[in-house]
Amino acid sequence: MNDSVTVPIADCSLCPFRGKTLLMGRCMPADTCVMAQSGRQIDRFFRVNPAYAEQYLQDAFWERRAIAVRYAPQKALLALIDDEDEVVRRAVAYRIPANQLQYFLHDEDREVRMTVADRIALNELEQLANDKDYIVRLTVVKRLPEGRLFRMIRDKDLQVRKLVATRLPEVSLGLMINDDAPEVRRIIAQRLPASDLAILQGDHDWLVRYAVATRIAVTELGCLLNDPEADVQAIARERLNASQHAED
C-alpha cells in the first residue's frame, strides 16, 4: 500500500508574482505558494509576503480569503463583514478592533458570535446575554463581572446556570437555592455560607443534603442525623461525634 500524500502543486506560469517572489526565493512550488489549493502553502506564502495579503481578500477561494485576513491591514477587513463564508467572517471577527465587533453581534454563525463574546468590551458584553446558543452565553458568563451575573441565573441551559452558580457573588447565592436542577443546587450548597445552609436541609436531592451535612454548623445538623439517605446520616453523625469527643 502506498501511504504517500500528494502535495498540491500550482502552475507557476499562472502566478502574477513569479517574476518577483520566485526569483527572490520568497516562494517555492509545493511549499510556499499562494496559488496552490493548500491552506498550509498559502499561509506560508503570506507569512513571508504579507504585503500581498490585501490583494486576496476578495479571492474566489474561501480559504485563501480567510488566510489573507490574518495578514492584511485591519482597515481593509471591514469589507468582509458580510462574506458568504463563516470561516472568513470568524477570521475577521478575531482581527478587527474590538470597537467594530458590533457588526457581528447577530452573525448566523455561533463561532463568530463566540469570538465577539470573547473580545468585545465588557461594558458591551451583555448584548450577547440572550444569545440563542448556550455556548455563546457560556462565554458571556465567563467574562461578565461577578456583580452582573444575576441576570443569568434563570438561563434556560443547565451548563450556563452551573457556571453562574460557581461565579455568583456569595451574597447572591440565595437566588439560586430553588433552581430546578440538582446539579446547580449542589454547587450552591458547596458555596453558601454555613450559616445559611439550613434552608437546604430538606432538599430533594441527597447529594445536596450531603454537601449541607459536611458544612453546616454541628449544632444545626438537626434532621440530617436521621436523613433517609445512609451516607447523609453517616456524615452528620460522624461530625456530631467528632464534635462531642473534642469537647471531652
Task: Find cell 436531592 and name the residue.
Answer: 205
Q: Domains along the chain?
A: 8-96 (1.25.10.10), 97-144 (no CATH), 146-192 (no CATH), 196-248 (no CATH)
Q: How would you label 161-189 residue by residue, b for 16+ Cβ within 10 Å and e otherwise?
A: bbbbbeebeeeebebbbebeeeebbbbbb
User: Do 176 and 182 meet the contact criterion of CB atoms below 8 Å apart?
Assistant: no
- 122: which 3 cell numbers? 465588557
Q: Cα-flanking dihedrals φ and ψ of residue 179, to 5°?
A: -55, 145
Chain position carrying cell 453558601: 192
Grid cell 511549499 in the structure block, residue:
31
Task: Output the tens digit of pLDDT for each of the chain's 248 residues.
Answer: 444 557 778 788 888 887 788 767 888 888 899 989 899 999 999 999 999 999 999 999 999 999 999 999 999 999 999 999 999 999 999 999 999 999 999 999 999 999 999 999 999 999 999 999 999 999 999 999 999 999 999 999 999 999 999 999 999 999 999 999 999 999 999 999 999 999 999 999 999 999 999 999 999 998 999 999 999 999 999 999 988 877 65
Give the span between the Cα atoms of 68 and 55, in whole angstroms.
Answer: 8
Q: What is the pTM of this model?
A: 0.85
Query: How many Cα atoms sit within 13 Å of 169 on the Cβ side?
Result: 10
Contact 124, 148 (CB under 8 A): no
Grid coordinates standing for 121?
468590551
For the chain, what is the HEC assignment?
A: CCCCCCCCCCCHHHCCCHHHHHCCCCCECCCECCCCCCHHHHHHHHHHCHHHHHHHCCCCCHHHHHHHHHHCCHHHHHHHCCCCCHHHHHHHHHHCCHHHHHHHCCCCCHHHHHHHHHHCCHHHHHHHCCCCCHHHHHHHHHHCCHHHHHHHCCCCCHHHHHHHHHHCCHHHHHHHCCCCCHHHHHHHHHHCCHHHHHHHCCCCCHHHHHHHHHHCCHHHCHHHHHCCCHHHHHHHHHHHHHHHHHHC
